[in-house]
Structure 1
Amino acid sequence: MTFRRFVLYAILLIFIVLLFILIPRTAPWKAGLSRFKPVSISFAYCSTNEDTEALINEMVERFNRSVGKDVGIVVEARNYKSIDYYSSLVSDYIVGGVTNAKISDINMVNYETAYLAKTMNRIASIDDYLEAEELSEFITGYLERGRYTSDSKRFVFPMSNDTKIIYVNNVQWERFKEANPEYDESVFETWEDLVEVSMRYYDWTDSLTPDIEGDGKAFLAFDSLSDYIFTSSNQLMNSIIQPGHKEVRINLDKRALYRLWEPVYKGFIYGGISIQRRENKPELMTNGEIVCYIGSTKDVDEFPLAFIFMDKVGETKLKVYDFPTFRNQRKVSPMEGEGVIVLKSDSKKEFACFFFLDWLVTQNEYVQMCYNEMVMPVKHDSFYSEYATTLVENGLKAKEAMKKHRAIVFEAASQQVLEGEPYAPVAFSKSHMFKQEVEDSFYDNVFAGIMEVDRLIEKGHDRKVSVEQVLSNDLFEIWFQRVKNIAERY
């Protein structure tokens, strides 16, 4: 071999090595995929929306005849409709290895099932198959929900996440504001201001019927008080549920819990926040019982078109505000939804699963699917895409109120997700029961406070004085001790 030929071979070898190093490990050929020996994978999702089913089938078919064909991946999609039902099937399979259903390689499940699968070492990590640059394209909060311990990787691929916003009947809000010009829309930014205006609204509506004492209306309602409790605890930098070093842990910081308890508790016992927890919140608005409520983006179609106030019927006008913060705190908004797990098999099949999922959430049909179901896309670029922009613009131009409402909500919720931090407590076994018990304990504490306020008013005390007196007694300590007792059982 001549020296010249040796140099050429050496340069070629160096080039090949550098190419192998520099090309992301997600390059299909590096995972051993070949179009001549395609890998077959199955994808189980859950949706009762026929349009969503059609869009997913369309994306899968296009993937199989284009990108999938080129890299050697064939996908079969299956719709199981109910997320709770299918999650239970996956749980049974993971625990016992036997189920009547055919469990897929890729599975849409709730986060408690994902936690079970992770603890039993049955699922692959997204961090092992996507590069840091690729992972940076995702909304961080969505990925972090799949990190179950502080030193672990992330195990859930985000797919379908809604968020919570404030739905406001702007007609009634403007009516109140005209009579109380000291308030403006900035009151929706913080919990402290929102509670203050809710109490003022109670007093104002009470004054409209001077012959009936104590019949004021609530200003605000929660569709889920647990969202407020757990999101606020994260916002105050002391999350109740935290990824620990080796296991999920429950952290009860008394000062943080008092700070989230005090303003909302005050609003409840004063009458400014509705205690009708089981009632449908849009119905409360229809009946003139509230001006606004905190609800999911998925429930936008339930926003009422008309309402009654002082025995008069009028049209509503939707206005939307971000989930509030505490003063001088960062913006954190609650999220809910399902994730996707990839069952462990071999590196080639696991790679194929994540490759397909990463492709799926970049498609226009995926953005359309999110818009149809009023959930948020998982990648930053999807929010800024021309397709998403066109969806919103067309919706805002629509004559039908419900189409306009969808555009208003999707646009506002998108900004909330991009500018703030989406958050959901880390799931663990029976975590939904823990959250429900904490919420129940808060309401029990509220009802005890209301009874005490009513007792003081009957004795002739002023409402404001009665509320302040109740706030100064031991009701917070009672609630805190009850939450501690609940936590000890989990």
Structure 2
Amino acid sequence: MKRTKLAFLVLSAMLIVTGCKEKEQDLLNKDDPVTIEVWHYYNGAQQDEFNRLVREFNKTVGKEKGIVVEGSGQGTISELEANVLDAIQGKAGADQMPNMFAAYGDAAYEVDQLGYAVDLKPYFTEEELSKYVEGYITEGNFSGEDSLKIFPVAKSVELLMLNKTDWEKFSSSVGVTTEELSTIEGITETAKKYYEWTDSLTEEQNDGKAFFGRDAFANYMLAGYRQLSTDMFSKENNKIVLHFEEDVVRKLWDNYYVPYISGYFDSSGKFRSDDIKVGNILACVSSSSSVTYFPDRVILNDEESYPIELKVLECPKFQGGKDYQIQQGAGMLVLKSSEKEQRACAEFLKWFTSDEQNIAFSTASGYLPVTKSANNLDKVTEVTKVEQSVKKVLRTSFEMIGDNQMYTSIPFKNGTTARAFLEKGMRDLAK
């Protein structure tokens, strides 16, 4: 009797697996290929690598399974999101809707509310999903339905990038160490010491120089609030709630507004790497993907310049705060179409995020791979040649990911507007 039951279970499982394979085989057929269009905002090295990988897929796995991928750059991320929404809503002059596009949370939320976001979970096994960094998969479950609507393809984190050459002159004179740069409060105190030290080098009073700046101010607000308390924006009873405790916000204020108006922080150029390039500051918190823009010289004027070396440190956190760090980088959102096209999108994403392909795509422009096994410097250097500056960023990023819970705020209606307010509010007031 037991043998009969066991045989029945085995036979049933075989029939289910065979049926699934036959279903997939019927849908994806090399003799009847399907074309899927991917819209993105990539440029430079990232776009070149994406196009190369698309060509490789089409010649290999795509050819075997009957999938042809076509990539289309849509300008900036804002232009891409606007074009996708225009296509979904069928506006006059809009292109036909793509099969998938590079999406951040707020755009994904809007598309999902329109009913066009595909849940990719049914196309992946639990074993397949377990290979990805947990926080990256969790970000795709923004609708709270145990779904996966943003699929990770490349990520970035925030790091502290330092002009090591000038830092060593300052640190040896004043007696500060890089350990003091591990906290937000330490950055503030060190910036004050740097201002006072540079002020002492001249006879003129109050002409000290700024030490620090940051690129994405909204990240400081969101990550800082999470480290000190909870999510600034949370969803309760299907409503978005703003948390704004006075003591927490005061700490955020004291460690940006006060040092900024005191001359310890600065943000003069378009990006903080621009400020480091002209010697306005020594250190900045920037995206790991911005390492390719970090200068190798400080240019004082048309005639004076000197070489500098990059040092990369983990992004500072609030002293005594929880171990949260911001994760960034758009994923891919698949738009509703035929089952055949949706399955083809999933097959491309599986291939694209396999270690070899994903390492090549990510490291081409300082981004991070999305699988656990690929978040390893030895693994990365086995697969591709990496510039020294990118290697520094990857090493520090992997260590930071291992030590912290990676965090992104929840997407919601008008979330982009809320983030823009956080980005500009205190920063503009300080200016």
**Shorter-chain TM-score: which interval?**
0.7 to 0.9
The 1-side partners of 2:148 and 2:139 are apart by: 8
TM-score (ref. length: structure 1)? 0.77
Alignment of 1:402-481 (within 5 A): 403-447=387-431
Q: Do 1:150 and 1:243's aligned partners in 2 also have CA atoms closer than 8 Å?
A: no
Report how far residue 313 of structure 1 moved: 4.4
- 2:6 maps to 1:15: no
Report how far residue 104 of structure 1 moved: 2.0
- 2:204 maps to 1:207: no
- 2:59 maps to 1:75: no
- 2:345 maps to 1:356: no
The 2-side partners of 1:300 and 1:442 are apart by: 26
Q: Do 1:87 and 1:110's aligned partners in 2 also have CA atoms closer than 8 Å?
A: no
The 2-side partners of 1:206 and 1:36 are apart by: 71
Match of 1:161 among 130, 149, 155: 155
Partner SS, residue 199 of structure 1: helix
Match of 2:137 among 132, 143, 146: 143
> Which residue in the other structure is 2:164 paired with?
170
Alignment CA distance shift 1:101-1:363 (3 Å): farther
> Which residue in the other structure is 1:284 paired with?
275
Match of 2:287 among 286, 296, 300: 296
Match of 2:117 among 123, 127, 144: 123
Report how far residue 255 of structure 1 moved: 3.4
Question: 1:239-273 CA deviation, whole Å, 9 max, x = no partner?
Answer: 22234453554333333323322233332233221
Q: Do 2:154 and 2:368's aligned partners in 1 also have CA atoms closer than 8 Å?
A: yes
Report how far residue 37 of structure 1 moved: 7.0
- 2:126 maps to 1:132: yes
Higher relative CO (Cα under 8 Å, sequence separation at least 6) belongs to 2
TM-score (ref. length: structure 2)? 0.86
> Which residue in the other structure is 1:189 paired with?
182
> Which residue in the other structure is 1:107 paired with?
101
Report how far residue 186 of structure 1 moved: 0.6
- The one-letter code sitting in structure 2 at the alignment partner of 1:374 is G
Alignment CA distance shift 1:408-1:13 (3 Å): same
Partner SS, residue 382 of structure 1: coil
Alignment CA distance shift 1:86-1:289 (3 Å): closer
Partner SS, residue 394 of structure 2: helix
Q: Do 1:35 and 1:69's aligned partners in 2 also have CA atoms closer than 8 Å?
A: no
> Which residue in the other structure is 1:389 paired with?
381
Which has the larger share of helix?
Answer: 1
> Which residue in the other structure is 2:40 paired with?
46
Q: Do 1:44 and 1:106's aligned partners in 2 also have CA atoms closer than 8 Å?
A: yes
Alignment CA distance shift 1:355-1:330 (3 Å): farther
Report how far residue 112 of structure 1 moved: 2.9
- 2:228 maps to 1:233: no
How high is the sequence identity, in percent, across the aligned residues? Answer: 21
The 2-side partners of 1:264 and 1:361 are apart by: 38
> Which residue in the other structure is 1:340 paired with?
332
Report how far residue 62 of structure 1 moved: 4.4
> Runs of 5+ in structure 1 lacking a partner?
1-5, 396-402, 448-490
Alignment CA distance shift 1:279-1:74 (3 Å): closer
